[in-house]
Amino acid sequence: MFEKLSIFAAFLAILMPFTQSKAEQLNLQEVAPGVFVHQGIHAMPNRQNHGEIANIGFIVGEQCVAVIDTGGSPAQGRALDAAITEKTKVPVCYVINTHVHPDHLYGNSAFKRAGVSFIGHRKLAQAMAVRAPYYLEKAGRDLGLGLKQEDFIAPDRTVDSTLELDLGGRKLTLTAHGPAHTDNDLTVFDDKTRTLWLSDLLFIGHLPVIDGSLTGWLRELSKLTKIDAKLAIPGHGPVSSEWPKAAEAETRYLEMLRSEIRAYIKQGKTMEQAMAEVGQSARGDWQLFDDFHKRNIATSFAELEWED
């Protein structure tokens, strides 16, 4: 009995700091006039960070605020909402979900209210529907979050190719991409500051994760790198003022995967062999390499074996 109690006390001790940190403010940076970013951390989503690992933020116009990704938990979404209220009196009109991954949209429920429109790629609702049952189970098991289907909020406006949003004296251009990081990636371009918000089409430091299409991602990157942007905001990693240079490491990694896996397939080698051997020399260049590299190989192998 005593042993059980002390285990229990230990749990409470572990949990207390996190419950208290909820009340803390979200750390935000104004990276360009009216462009605010909270930089996430390079970590796997877990019970300690509650999945709050991605870069999220907002852009302020004269009439409207557009939120770009809402965070890894409802609590982080509420913290973002509170931070917006502190920075500006302009109301939130739009929530832009850049793709289906939970670290970017579990804060959605914090913004569900009259006057807020949710915007996503034309395939976002389908991706939510297919993945929600599994993601919800995982939120309980791995993140300690008790979420429900209602916490995913499907877009009420979808982007087929591009969509312009007028925030009042400030125009945002949203672009829906072909399968790349996922099959439902959106990027946002702010005309006023020439800021390109790439979300997870750009990883800096954190190993890129392929959950859409390797060749598709390289194709989208070749278009995105032609954009004359002053500032690039990745989904994971620091904001960069060097575009397209900021995409070089990611492009190099994806190109390496493509050429090495193509060679394995040509030689008749198996997915298992590729997963064990391909691209190990890139380990030192990236964080979370051991968490995502093999999965990238599996996904890419299954894609590339249909090329010929």
Partner 1 sequence: MKKDLNISAFCLMIAGLLFANITLAAGDEDAAWNNVLKKQFFGDRSIDESGATIELTAPYRAEDPALVPVSVTAKLPQTTSNYIKTITLIIDNNPVPFAAAFHFTPESGKADIATRLRFNAYTNIRAIAETNDGKLSMVKSFVKASGGCSAPIGADLDAAMARMGKMKFKLDGDKIALNQPNQTQLLVSHPSISGMQMDQISRMVKPAHFVNQVKVSFNGKPVLSAETDIALSTDPNFRFYFVPDKAGELKAEVKDNQGKEFSYTQAVTP
15 vs 41 by CB, closer to partner 1: 15
CA distance 89 to 111: 16
Nearest to 92 by CA among 54, 55, 58: 58
Piece in contact with partner 1 (CB under 8 A), picked from 41-49, 58-66, 159-167, 252-260: 41-49
Residue 195 within binding range of partner 1, rule CB under 8 A: no
Residue 205 within binding range of partner 1, rule CB under 8 A: no
Scanning the structure block, which residue is given the tokens 């870069």?
55
Q: Per the structure block, which two tokens stand in for 194?
A: 């020439």
Interface with partner 1 (CB under 8 A), residue from 142, 192, 205, 256 = 142
Piece in contact with partner 1 (CB under 8 A), picked from 149-157, 164-172, 219-227, 277-285: 149-157
Contact map string, positions 122 to 141, toward partner 1, x by CB under 8 A: ---xx-xxxxxxxx-xx-xx
- What is the number of residues in the chain? 308
Whether the ω angle into residue 17 lies within 30 degrees of 0, i.e. cis, is no
Nearest to 222 by CA among 263, 256, 180, 257: 180
12 vs 91 by CB, closer to partner 1: 12
CA distance 296 to 286: 13
Residue 182 within binding range of partner 1, rule CB under 8 A: yes
Residue 41 within binding range of partner 1, rule CB under 8 A: no
12 vs 82 by CB, closer to partner 1: 12
Within 57-96, which residues bind partner 1 (CB under 8 A)? none
What's the half-sphere exposure (Cβ side, CA atoms, 13 Å) at 293?
A: 20
Contact 96, 67 (CB under 8 A): yes
Interface with partner 1 (CB under 8 A), residue from 3, 24, 150, 228 = 150
Smallest separation, CB 172 to partner 1 (Å): 25
Residue 12 within binding range of partner 1, rule CB under 8 A: yes
Beta strands in the chain (DSSP E): 29-32, 35-38, 56-60, 65-68, 92-96, 117-121, 157-159, 162-166, 171-176, 186-190, 195-203, 231-236
- Phi, psi (5° rounding) for residue 137? -65, -40
Residue 11 within binding range of partner 1, rule CB under 8 A: yes
CA distance 126 to 210: 18
Residue 20 within binding range of partner 1, rule CB under 8 A: yes
Interface with partner 1 (CB under 8 A), residue from 6, 21, 63, 149 = 149
Q: Which residues form the interface with partner 1 (CB under 8 A)?
A: 8, 11-12, 15-16, 19-20, 44-46, 101-103, 125-126, 128-135, 137-138, 140-142, 144, 146, 149-150, 152, 154, 179, 182-183, 209-213, 216, 268, 270-272, 275, 291-292, 294-295, 298-299, 302-303, 305-306
